[in-house]
Structure 1
Amino acid sequence: MPDTGANMSEITILDGGMGQELVRRSGRVPSGLWSCELMMERPDLVRAVHDDFLAAGADIVSVNSYTLHRDRLNPAGLGDEFEAVHKLACDLACEARDAFGAGTVAGCIGPLGWSYSHDGAPPEDESVALYREICDLQRDRVDMFLIETMASISQARASLTAALPFGKPVWIGLTVDDFNGTHLRSGEPLSEALQEIETLAPDAVLLNCSTPEAIGDGLAVMRTSHLRTGAYANGFTAIRPEFMEKGSSVSKLSARTDFSPDAYANHAARWVGYGATILGGCCEVGPSHIEELAKRFGARPARLPGTSLSAH
């Protein structure tokens, strides 16, 4: 498995966005819990996405557990499936890694409340307990934890407080304002968030699920950090305020049209210039984008026979 610590001389390639890839492959109109619902109905699709990201050159695949929070499952009548869906999500990622013969599985911890919303989560002490429950469920099945799309300092602090005591590598992804990448979506300065995170000492801090341009601006702020840094952007034009309402789906968002694999890798080159050593993709980033990142910045391995994708 690749080094998930602070090896600054090599670039690690993350996978891309699971949810949008599932929407594309299923042809289904997404709901607020689409990635979980599809996984329960068609686990083969989730496994296939993991397989394709590994074949594309990803060093790390993330468990499909971003939405698997009690505050999302309970309203949908799926609260009793909490442990079962976490196990299923972990098993599918581990099976893909084992079949491929290489790779690292990251337990995914998404934000409580709703994506991009900084004020919808429970109080911080309650959030810590809920995040810790997920870490405890996944701890024996994953190699590391990847915290994603934290929109405020409080969310970041709660998730790290929960994950760090489990003794596994922990990476945290912050989401920044699409129109001012030097601030979190909460409005708090990224520099202040970075100071708080550095005191907690995760293994890496990343920017994720914001526009590539905003992420570049944010990485310029983070370039002096002593932590390992990285980035994985989304392919939306911007996050609209109505999407932050609980229960909304990505049907409220628009995909940008200038998001080819080559264009995305050009953005990543800017991120590398700011010191990023972890590169991947979020919503709208598929295997072809990850393949291009791996070609430019990864190990450039030989292609698999009979496929356009490459393997480590």
Structure 2
Amino acid sequence: MGKQMPETATTFLTHFLQHSGGYGVLDGGFATELERLGADLNDPLWSAKCLLTSPHLVRRVHLDYLDAGANIISTASYQATIQGFEAKGFSRDESENLLRKSVQIAIEARDIYLERCTKDSWDFTETGAGSRRPILIAASIGSYGAYLADGSEYSGEYGDSVTLETLKDFHRRRVQILANAGADLIAFETIPNKLEAQAYAELLDEEGIEIPAWFSFNSKDGINVVSGDSISDCASIADASKQVVAVGINCTPPRYIHGLILSIREVTDKPIVVYPNSGESYDGVTKRWLKSDGMIGEDFVSYVRKWKEAGASLFGGCCRTTPNTIRGIAKALSSKTF
């Protein structure tokens, strides 16, 4: 989709949803798909390691999700930070170029996908009009806790020494680079606390970021974000930012999503984005996925109607979800009986 669509942040997502049938389909788990394809992500850089070692696998995952019906794909930059790359011995210029590379790979995948679309593919309207569904690229930005790789992205406990200014200084150059790399929007993901949401909102304003953004938070109780901060308070920060065009939840068990949508809807009229994990829980210390209340792989598709009725309009998956998950969501949403 590139720069073909909108105009202003306030109309950007409205126009996208109008051109997409009233809903958007995000991709699913990224790092877990890279691992399934053989990538070794046992590294502080996690999925960003593949920008160095296996860019072809990054492109392959993007294409697999596009084939499954996604029309929003996220870049492999969730764990990609200038500080993280420099700790690996890369120069500042090299680190910044790796951030840009994450967007370039996603753009390449979109171009490849659109080029090979045919009139008989899912990507054309059932009326035979032959108009392609728009595809957006979201530049992914993980939290400060994701960079630390100590599990704090799942607790929001950064300690008293980490202030609002600490977080703004940490994220500033990364936001600048990704905002100017060719993506359609920025996805601030797995935000664990109110402080980091405020840091992002202030950065968008201070840096005059022109492309839209969304904020998505994570929760482990279905009531608050993982730090214990109120989801309503966090969503209100997103609502107050003119550059934030959607707010929602990611990396959270599916069973909590409905209630969180209702809480978010109380404080904002902006589109709501939901992309839960598989229903398992992640132990950030042992780096292992664990059963959640005895369940593994909750059935996403059975939840989608309920989420849509509650007010969500952008749907996808997070950790441990697959192209098959996204295919099921896309088919359900496109069904005339849905």
Structure 1 residues 297, 188: CA separation in 2 closer, same or farther (over 3 Å shift)?
Answer: same
Q: CA deviation at 1:5?
A: 1.9
- Pairwise CA distance, 1:70: 3.6
Paired AA for residue 11 in structure 1: Y
* Partner deviation per Cα, 1:70-119 (whole Å, 9 max, x = no partner): 44334444465421211221111010111122511111111013322313
Match of 2:326 in 1: 290
Q: Which has the higher contact order (CA 8 A, sep 6+)?
A: 1
The gaps in structure 2 that reach 5 residues or longer are 7-11, 115-133, 147-152
TM-score if structure 1 supplies the norm length? 0.84
Distance 1:71 1:254, change over 3 A: farther
Residue 223 of structure 1 aligns with which residue?
Answer: 265
Deviation at 1:190, TM superposition (A): 1.1
Is residue 163 of structure 1 aligned with residue 201 of structure 2?
no
Matched residue type, 1:189: S
Does 1:212 find its partner at 2:221? no
2:144 paired residue among 101, 107, 112? 112
Q: Which residue of 2 aligns with 1:86?
A: 99
Corresponding position of 2:226: 185
What amino acid sits opposite 1:185 in the alignment? V
Listed one character per residue, the Cα deviations across residues 116-149 of structure 1 (whole Å, up to 9, x for unaligned) are 2313284212322332311221223211111100
- Matched with 2:281 is 238
With over 3 angstroms needed to count, the CA separation of the structure-2 counterparts of 1:151 and 1:55, relative to structure 1, is same
- Return the match for 1:138 from 159, 173, 178: 178
User: Which residue is 2:306 aligned to?
Assistant: 270
Partner of 1:175: 218
For residues 12-161 of structure 1, the aligned pairs below 5 Å read: 12-26=24-38, 28=40, 30-78=42-90, 80=92, 81-101=94-114, 103-114=135-146, 115-120=153-158, 122-140=162-180, 141-161=182-202
For residues 25 and 183 of structure 2, what CA distance do their matches in structure 1 show?
A: 17
Q: How many percent identity over aligned positions?
A: 25
Moved more, 104-113 or 34-43: 34-43
1:142–1:32: structure 2 CA closer, same or farther, 3 Å change rule? same
Taking structure 1 as reference, are residues 29 and 155 closer, same or farther at Cα in structure 2, changes over 3 Å only? closer
- Residues matched between the structures, number: 289
1:144–1:169 contact (8 Å) kept in structure 2: yes
Query: Aligned partners of 1:111, 1:79: CA distance in 2, in Å?
Result: 22
Give distance in 1, aligned partners of 2:91 and 2:143: 17
Take 1:66 and 1:299, find their aligned partners in 2: how far apart are those partners?
32
1:5 to 3, 8, 13: 13
The answer for unaligned runs of 5 or more in structure 1 is: 301-312
Matched residue type, 1:117? S
The equivalent residue for 2:118 is none
Contact 2:82 2:174 in 1 (8 A): no
Q: Kindly provide the amino acid, as one letter, of the partner of residue 12 in structure 1.
A: G
For the pair shown, the structure with the greater C-alpha radius of gyration is: 2
Q: Please tell me whether the aligned partners of residues 182 and 191 of structure 1 are also in contact (alpha carbons under 8 angstroms).
A: no
Q: 1:237 to 1:79 in 2, by over 3 A?
A: farther
Q: CA deviation at 1:21?
A: 0.6
Where do 1:242-261 residues align within 5 Å?
243=284, 245=285, 249=287, 252-254=288-290, 258-259=296-297
Distance 2:136 2:259 in 1: 29
d(CA) in 1 for partners of 2:237 and 2:54?
Answer: 40
Change (3 A) 1:89 1:170: same
Shift of 1:6: 3.5
CA distance in 1 between partners of 2:63 and 2:335 (Å) = 18
State TM-score, norm by structure 2. Answer: 0.78
